[in-house]
């Protein structure tokens, strides 16, 4: 009896027919980050659980409900639920913060949270994120937000709105927490069990609760902007000034608190209404106390994370362009062992120069081979048999037009194919923009 094994709930397979879409996001993300001076970092998939307890916060949904934690003998590990904590740990442990500041790093990684799967929310999801450590200036906040906006623009996303807020510093929040406790205490019995506990430990977390009842109760709660100290208020006003100077439109949303406890001062989200409830495609902010909290010096830092699956949902919905998937440049249809051997030889030569070449590996007849070549979208086909081998030449067929050209099967075959290939492709692609996209696709593949 066959075992019916399926992928775990809340995960997705990325098939060959779709992977070029991921390549599009990954390439544009890398290129954009690097033009802003960021370098790639790679960190482990799991960390000591204490790292997330100390950074993300024990009163957050992530820690209380969503982490995947395992024990290996006497050690407890957790699959990373987000990218910042592990990245900051790596920067500390490897001495990056002892080098010239600010330090700028970016990453592409998978994260894991035990949530109810839905569109745009998975248990294994992927993020592009970055961290900048060393600058306390609001200009750094504007720089990071500008990078995120530039990336979204380069992906050609539309109808994405930027919302910003300041959640102050520990000094501000001490007074704000008092006001929140006073407000929520009057309706304490109506709060969910988790939020009743948060009311004592961290009342600001109630504003991030997913419960409709808690959200309704919190609708008229005091807002943090009314409690900012002079420094935090000045920082926020400067950020708004810099964003305006950069031509970046924004709205202030005093309800944004983000879902993780390490944030201070600036928090921001890029949001769309086009993929349902899970509309935040990018979220981030400043976390000036995190490095010190993890055992380092007092070094300010900030960053953001973008969910790749959510970006792709929006891109597909809006018809955004993707890089051209790599397709077969030439397929050799062979008749007989000698022809197969020659096809292998010519394919090897072409592949050395970056061409995608295929030949029959299934023992198909000629008609079936041509049908296969058409199915995989081969640009050209070349039939090899005894006659072609003895004469040292063959007919190469451009599949779209059906036009055939004679080509020599000599030691200059790659050069001969170059001539035919670019002559035919240039005739087919006349539009400059289409040609640029085509060449970009070849370059990326």
- Hey, where are the domains in the chain? 19-169+229-318, 172-224, 330-444
The percent of the chain in helix, strand and coil, each rounded to the nearest 5, is 45, 20, 35
Is 50 exceeded by the pLDDT of residue 434?
no
The pTM (predicted TM-score) of the whole model is 0.87
Residue-wise pLDDT tens digits, 259-299: 567 789 999 999 998 876 668 999 999 999 999 999 999 99
Q: Is the dihedral of CA 20, 21, 24, 29 positive or negative?
A: negative
Q: Cα–Cα distances in Å, from 222 out to 165, 203, 234, 255, 266?
A: 14, 11, 20, 9, 18
Q: Would you identify the CATH topology of the domain 330-444?
A: Rossmann fold (3.40.50)
Q: For residue 435, what pLDDT is reported?
A: 45
Using 50, 70 and 90 to split pLDDT, how confident is the model at 430?
A: very low
Using 50, 70 and 90 to split pLDDT, how confident is the model at 428?
A: very low
Q: Cα–Cα distances in Å, from 49 out to 53, 365, 391?
A: 7, 59, 70
- In the CATH scheme, what is the homologous superfamily, with its name and number, of domain 19-169+229-318? Bira Bifunctional Protein; Domain 2 (3.30.930.10)
Percent of the chain whose pLDDT exceeds 70: 92
């Amino acid at each position: 009896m066959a075992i019916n094994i399926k992928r775990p709930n809340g995960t997705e397979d990325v098939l060959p027919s779709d992977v070029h879409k991921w390549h599009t996001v990954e390439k544009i993300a890398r290129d954009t980050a690097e033009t802003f001076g960021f370098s790639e970092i790679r960190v482990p998939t799991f960390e000591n659980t204490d790292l997330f307890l100390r950074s993300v916060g024990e009163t957050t949904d992530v820690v209380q409900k969503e982490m995947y934690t395992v024990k290996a003998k006497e050690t407890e590990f957790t699959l990373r639920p987000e990218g910042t904590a592990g990245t900051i740990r790596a920067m500390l442990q490897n001495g990056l913060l002892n080098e010239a500041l600010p330090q700028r790093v970016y990453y592409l990684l998978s994260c894991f949270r035990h949530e109810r799967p839905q569109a745009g929310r998975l248990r294994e999801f992927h993020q592009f994120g970055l961290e900048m450590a060393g600058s306390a200036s609001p200009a750094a906040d504007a720089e990071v937000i500008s990078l995120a906006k530039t990336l979204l623009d380069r992906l050609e996303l539309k109808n994405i709105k930027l919302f910003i807020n300041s959640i102050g510093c520990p000094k501000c929040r001490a007074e704000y927490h008092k006001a929140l406790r006073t407000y929520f205490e009057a309706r304490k019995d109506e709060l969910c069990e988790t939020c009743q506990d948060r009311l004592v430990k961290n009342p600001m977390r109630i504003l991030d609760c997913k419960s409709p009842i808690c959200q309704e109760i919190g609708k008229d709660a005091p807002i943090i902007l009314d409690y900012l100290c002079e420094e935090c208020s000045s920082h926020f006003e400067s950020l708004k000034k810099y964003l305006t100077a950069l031509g970046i439109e924004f709205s202030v949303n005093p309800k944004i608190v983000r879902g993780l406890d390490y944030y201070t001062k600036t928090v921001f989200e890029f949001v769309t209404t086009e993929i349902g409830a899970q509309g935040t495609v990018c979220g981030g902010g400043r976390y000036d106390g995190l490095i010190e909290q993890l055992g380092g010096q007092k070094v300010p830092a900030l960053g953001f994370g973008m969910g790749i699956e959510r970006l792709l949902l929006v891109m597909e919905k809006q018809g955004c362009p993707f890089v051209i998937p790599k397709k077969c440049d030439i397929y050799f249809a062979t008749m007989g062992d000698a022809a197969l051997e020659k096809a292998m030889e010519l394919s090897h030569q072409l592949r050395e120069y970056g061409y995608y070449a295929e030949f029959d590996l299934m023992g198909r007849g000629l008609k079936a081979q041509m049908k296969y070549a058409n199915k995989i979208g081969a640009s050209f086909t070349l039939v090899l048999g005894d006659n072609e081998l003895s004469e040292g030449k063959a007919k190469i067929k451009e599949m779209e037009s059906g036009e055939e050209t004679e080509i020599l099967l000599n030691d200059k075959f790659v050069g001969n194919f170059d001539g035919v290939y670019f002559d035919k492709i240039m005739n087919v692609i006349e539009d400059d923009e289409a040609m640029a996209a085509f060449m970009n696709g070849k370059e990326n593949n």
